[in-house]
Structure 1
Amino acid sequence: MTNIRKRTAGHTVLMLMAALTFLCSVSLSNAQQPSNGAAKPTTTPADEGLPVKDPLVQQKCGACHQADVKGNLSRISYVRTTPEGWEEAIKRMIRLNGLQVSPDEARHILRYLSDRHGLAPDEAKKTEYFVEHRMIDETPIPEIDGPCGSCHATAKPLSWRRTGDDWKLLKNMHIAFFPSAENTSFSGNQNRLGQTPGGQGGGGRGEQNARTGPDGKPIRPVDDAIAWLAKSEPLHTPEWANWETMIQQPKLEGVWFVSGKAPGKGSFHGKVTIKATETPGNFTTETSVTYLDGETYTAKGYSIVYTGYAWRGRSEAQSSAAGVGAPSKVREVMMLSRDGSKLEGRWFWGTYEEFGMDITMTRDVGAPALLDISAASLKAGTSGAKVTIYGQNLPTSITPAGIDLGSGITVTGAEAKSDSVTLTVSIAADAIPGKRAVTVNGLVLPSAIAVYDHIDFLKVTPETSLSRLGDEPHAKGYAQFEAEAYAFGPDGKAMTADDVPLGVVPATWKLEEFVASYGDDDVDFVGKLDSKTGFFTPASDGPNPKRRSMRNNYGDVWVVATYTPEGQSKPVTGRSYMVVSVPQYIQYDQPEVAGK
Structure 2
Amino acid sequence: MKTIKRLVLAASLFAPLLLALTAHSQSQSQTQPSQPQSPPAEEKKEPGEEGIPVANQLVIDRCASCHKRDDKGRLTRISYERRTPEGWQQAIKRMVRLNGLNLTPDEARQIVKYLSNNHGLAPEEAKPAFYEVERRVIDEKVPDENLRNACVICHSLGRVISQRRTREEWELLTNMHAGYFPVVDFQGFRRPPRPPGQQPPPVPQPEDTRHPVERVVEYLAKNYPLTTPEWGAWRANMRTPKLQGRWLLSGYQAGRGRIYGEMIIEPSEVEDEFTTQIRMSYIKDGSAMTRSGRAIVYTGYSWRGRSQPTGGKEADRIGETREAMFISRDWATMEGRWFWGGYDEFGIDVTLRRLGAEPIILGVDRPALKSPSTAEQVRIYGGALPTDLKPEEIDFGPGVKVKRIINAASDAVTVEVDVAEGAANGLRDISLRRYFATGAVAVFDKVDYIKVSPDAGIARIGGVKFPKQYQQFEAIAYNRGPDDKPQTADDVSLGLVDVEWSIDEFPATLDDDDKDFVGELDNTGLFTPAIEGPNPKRSKQRNNYGDVWIVASYRPKDAPNDAQPLKARSYLVVTVPLYVRWDQPEVSK
Q: Give the corresponding residue for 1:384.
A: 375
Task: Deviation per CA, 1:286-322: give whole Å up to 9, x if none.
Answer: 1111221221121111111000000000111246446
Distance 1:210 1:552, change over 3 A: farther
Q: Is the Cα–Cα contact under 8 Å of residues 41 and 168 in structure 1 kept in the other structure?
A: no
Equivalent residue letter for 1:308: G
Equivalent residue letter for 1:576: S
Task: Say yes or no: does 1:559 pair with 2:542.
Answer: no
Inter-partner Cα distance in structure 1 for 2:124 and 2:54: 23
Q: Please, which of 154, 157, 162 is the counterpart of residue 154 of structure 1?
A: 157
Equivalent residue letter for 2:140: E
Task: Say yes or no: does 1:485 pair with 2:487.
Answer: no
1:148 is paired with a residue whose SS is helix
**1:38-77 equivalence runs, <5 A:** 42=43, 44=45, 48-77=50-79
Equivalent residue letter for 1:471: G
Q: Is the Cα–Cα contact under 8 Å of residues 255 and 274 in structure 1 kept in the other structure?
A: yes
Relative to structure 2, which stretch is displaced further, 556-565 or 136-145?
Answer: 136-145
Q: Please, which of 579, 583, 588 is the counterpart of residue 577 of structure 2?
A: 583
Distance 1:245 1:495, change over 3 A: farther
Distance 1:51 1:570, change over 3 A: same
Relative to structure 2, which stretch is displaced further, 362-371 or 432-441?
Answer: 362-371
TM superposition shift of 1:513: 2.6
Q: Give the corresponding residue for 1:98.
A: 100
Q: Give the corresponding residue for 2:135.
A: 133
Inter-partner Cα distance in structure 1 for 2:52 and 2:235: 11
Equivalent residue letter for 1:74: T
Distance 1:339 1:544, change over 3 A: same
2:572 is paired with a residue whose SS is strand
Q: Give the corresponding residue for 2:395.
A: 404
Inter-partner Cα distance in structure 2 for 1:152 and 1:234: 19
TM superposition shift of 1:323: 9.8
Task: Say yes or no: does 1:231 pair with 2:247.
Answer: no
TM superposition shift of 1:84: 0.3
Task: Deviation per CA, 1:165-216: give whole Å up to 9, x if none.
Answer: 2111111010000012222134345xxxxxxx65489x9x9999997888xx
Q: Please, which of 429, 451, 464 is the counterpart of residue 437 of structure 1?
A: 429
Q: Give the corresponding residue for 1:294.
A: 286
TM superposition shift of 1:68: 2.7
Q: Give the corresponding residue for 1:24.
A: none
**1:272-311 equivalence runs, <5 A:** 272-292=263-283, 293-311=285-303
Inter-partner Cα distance in structure 2 for 1:585 and 1:145: 24
TM superposition shift of 1:487: 1.6
1:475 is paired with a residue whose SS is coil
Equivalent residue letter for 2:536: P
Q: Give the corresponding residue for 1:120.
A: 122
TM superposition shift of 1:517: 3.8
Inter-partner Cα distance in structure 1 for 2:203 and 2:277: 63
Equivalent residue letter for 2:396: L
**1:8-87 equivalence runs, <5 A:** 42=43, 44=45, 48-87=50-89
TM superposition shift of 1:238: 2.5
Distance 1:493 1:145, change over 3 A: farther
Task: Deviation per CA, 1:401-459: give whole Å up to 9, x if none.
Answer: 11000111011011212211111111111111111101112211101111111222222
**Where has structure 1 moved over 6 Å in runs of 4 or more?**
38-41, 205-214
**1:261-272 equivalence runs, <5 A:** 261-272=252-263
Inter-partner Cα distance in structure 1 for 2:336 and 2:205: 44
TM superposition shift of 1:398: 1.5
Q: Give the corresponding residue for 1:525.
A: 517
Q: Please, which of 493, 499, 503 is the counterpart of residue 491 of structure 2?
A: 499
Inter-partner Cα distance in structure 2 for 1:420 and 1:484: 26
Q: Give the corresponding residue for 2:588.
A: 594
1:155 is paired with a residue whose SS is helix
2:188 is paired with a residue whose SS is coil
Relative to structure 2, which stretch is displaced further, 137-146 or 99-108?
Answer: 137-146
1:575 is paired with a residue whose SS is strand
Distance 1:456 1:538, change over 3 A: same
Equivalent residue letter for 2:498: P
Distance 1:259 1:176, change over 3 A: same
Inter-partner Cα distance in structure 2 for 1:51 and 1:464: 47
Q: Which runs of 5+ in 2 are unaligned?
A: 1-38
Q: Give the corresponding residue for 1:31.
A: none
Inter-partner Cα distance in structure 2 for 1:585 and 1:286: 36
Q: Give the corresponding residue for 2:32.
A: none
Inter-partner Cα distance in structure 2 for 1:583 and 1:226: 33
Distance 1:209 1:545, change over 3 A: farther
**1:441-480 equivalence runs, <5 A:** 441-480=433-472
1:118 is paired with a residue whose SS is coil
TM superposition shift of 1:577: 2.2
Q: Is the Cα–Cα contact under 8 Å of residues 279 and 289 in structure 2 kept in the other structure?
A: yes
Distance 1:80 1:529, change over 3 A: same
TM superposition shift of 1:366: 3.2
Q: Is the Cα–Cα contact under 8 Å of residues 81 and 117 in structure 1 kept in the other structure?
A: yes
Distance 1:157 1:118, change over 3 A: same
Distance 1:574 1:227, change over 3 A: farther
* RMSD of aligned alpha carbons: 2.5
Q: Give the corresponding residue for 2:386.
A: 395
Relative to structure 2, which stretch is displaced further, 93-102 or 534-543?
Answer: 93-102
Equivalent residue letter for 1:424: E
Equivalent residue letter for 2:423: A
2:110 is paired with a residue whose SS is helix
Q: Is the Cα–Cα contact under 8 Å of residues 297 and 318 in structure 1 kept in the other structure?
A: yes
Equivalent residue letter for 2:416: T
Relative to structure 2, which stretch is displaced further, 333-342 or 250-259?
Answer: 250-259
Equivalent residue letter for 1:581: T
Count of matched residue pairs: 544
Q: Is the Cα–Cα contact under 8 Å of residues 424 and 482 in structure 2 kept in the other structure?
A: no
Q: Give the corresponding residue for 1:6.
A: none
Relative to structure 2, which stretch is displaced further, 223-232 or 337-346?
Answer: 223-232
Q: Is the Cα–Cα contact under 8 Å of residues 396 and 429 in structure 2 kept in the other structure?
A: yes
TM superposition shift of 1:573: 2.1
Q: Which runs of 5+ in 1 are unaligned?
A: 1-37, 190-196
1:371 is paired with a residue whose SS is strand
Distance 1:540 1:41, change over 3 A: farther
Structure 2-normalised TM-score? Answer: 0.87
Q: Give the corresponding residue for 1:331.
A: 322
Task: Deviation per CA, 1:134-161: give whole Å up to 9, x if none.
Answer: 1222224333222212211111111111
Structure 1-normalised TM-score? Answer: 0.86
Rg larger for = 2
